[in-house]
Structures are given as structure tokens and as C-alpha cells.
Amino acid sequence: MAISDAQGLPLTRQRFIDLVLSLSPRIAAFDCDGTLWSGDAGEGFFDWEIGTGLVAPEMGRAMRARYAEYKLGRVSEDDMCAEMVTMHKGMSEAAMMEAAAEFMTAAFAGKAFDEMLELVERLRAQGCDVWAVSSSNEWVIRAGAQQFGIPESRILAAKAEVENGFVTDRLVAMPSGPGKPRALRQVLRDQSLDAAFGNSRWDTEMLSLAERAFAINPNPDLEITARERGWTIYFPDGTARQ
């Protein structure tokens, strides 16, 4: 399927991959939900864990009510993403990783975009330092990033402090919106971000930080921004709007 970049030129899967590789980026950062894979793994895990009883029923009810408020715009994106992590206070980190792996295998299988799998693999083969940056909980992102070969040490995601193997309600990181470039600057220090990939307005600041920005499967608001700023737009196979 012919897909358009920010200049309106046809951009096929192979041309997209070749374009990125031709830049020989040393450091690249990828949003995850909607960018590396289809759908929102963080939101999906939230619904799944409440439905399966991973969290206590009273916590599940309270968090569903909280999420409804978020959808109405009464709870901020940062606050909701943070609470979807700290709601696990008292649970073991080992149990959270086991649950995240089960979810990604059973309920989120086959969601990864094939061209993004190929791109990340080939970037890593070129020696590119690939980072995954997400406001979803780190357990789900760690589980999902495994198929891309992205190690835990290269994941920046919503994270709660763990004490003696158990999750606390103390938030360590929340890479969302402006928090994404802040998190990247902390680890990259004086190194430049050569390429960044994202799909929503919450990725705008991270994309702006990069030497070359790619809007992947962009939501309409990010697509408008990408066209205004001349960023490359790419819709993975099967996602392009008609």
C-alpha cells in the first residue's frame, strides 16, 4: 500500500526502512503503544488485570471509576498513568512481571508491527542504541520490548519504587509528554538523539528533541503537527486512513 510522508511522497514499507537506516542513527527512541505495536498495552493490561482479579476487587472498582473520570478529562494524563502503576502497592515485582508476560503473550500477541520489528532489529545490527520510552507501566513495556530485543536497561517507562521486592506507591518515573525528553536527557546527557518515533501528541516533545522525527501511525492531532513541522509520516501496513 502506498503511504505518504510529510512531503506527500509515496512511502512504502521498504522505502521507510531504507530511509531510516540511511541516516545511520547512533541513538534512536521509540514510543511503544501505537508506535511499535498496535493498541495501548498499558490500557489493555489495566482492563485485563482488573478483569482477572490480579488486583483486589475494591481497588479494581475504585480504579475503574478513576479511569472514567480521566476519560471525561477530569484526571490528567500524568496522574492517571501514575496511578495505574502505584495501584500495585504491596504486590511483588516478580508477580507483576509474570502477569505482564502472560498478558502480552495471551492477550496482546501479534500486535507488533512487522516493519517496526524489522527496523529495530536492523538498527541494532547497525550499532544503534535503541530506547523504548512509554508512559505505560514498565512491566508491560519490558515484556513487550523483549520481542524487539530492547533490553531492560534501555527502557524508560512509568515506574514505581520497589522495596525488598515489593511495589510501593512512590513514583520513580513518568515519561509522558514533556517527561519523555526529560527522561532521555537524563540518560543521554550530552549525547544527541538522532531519531525518534511516536504516534500521539504525548510524543511531540520527544520528537522535537530528535534530529529526525518520524510520526508512526499518528493520531490526527499528531499528524497535523507532523505535517506542519515537516516530520516524516508513516502508516504501517493495514493502518493507513483512507
HEC per residue, 21-54: HHCCCCEEEECCECCCECCCHHHHHHHHHHHCCC
The whole-number pLDDT of residue 41 equals: 94
Q: Which range marks the domain in which residue 144 is found?
A: 13-234
Does residue 38 form part of some domain? yes
Do residues 131 and 28 make contact, with C-beta atoms less than 8 angstroms apart?
A: yes
pLDDT, tens digit (0-9, with 9 covering 90-100), for 155-187 = 999 999 999 999 999 999 899 999 999 999 999
C-alpha cell at 202: 504525548
Does residue 6 form part of some domain? no
Q: Average the pLDDT over 6-14 and give the result.
A: 71
Residue of 106 and 199 predicted with greater confidence: 199
Q: Average the pLDDT over 43-72 and give the result.
A: 95
Does residue 219 form part of some domain? yes
The rounded Cα 87 to chain-centroid distance in angstroms is 20
Asked whether residue 124 carries a pLDDT value surpassing 90, the answer given is: yes
The whole-number pLDDT of residue 187 equals: 96
Does residue 150 form part of some domain? yes
- Is residue 143 helix, strand or coil? helix
Q: Whole-prediction pTM value?
A: 0.92
Does residue 18 form part of some domain? yes
* Number of domains within the chain: 1
- Is residue 176 helix, strand or coil? coil
What is the chain's Cα-based Rg? 18
C-alpha cell at 221: 492531532
C-alpha cell at 155: 527502557
Task: List the CATH number of the domain containing 19.
Answer: 3.40.50.1000
Q: Average the pLDDT over 52-76 and give the result.
A: 95
Does residue 108 form part of some domain? yes
Asked whether residue 2 carries a pLDDT value surpassing 50, the answer given is: no
Does residue 7 form part of some domain? no
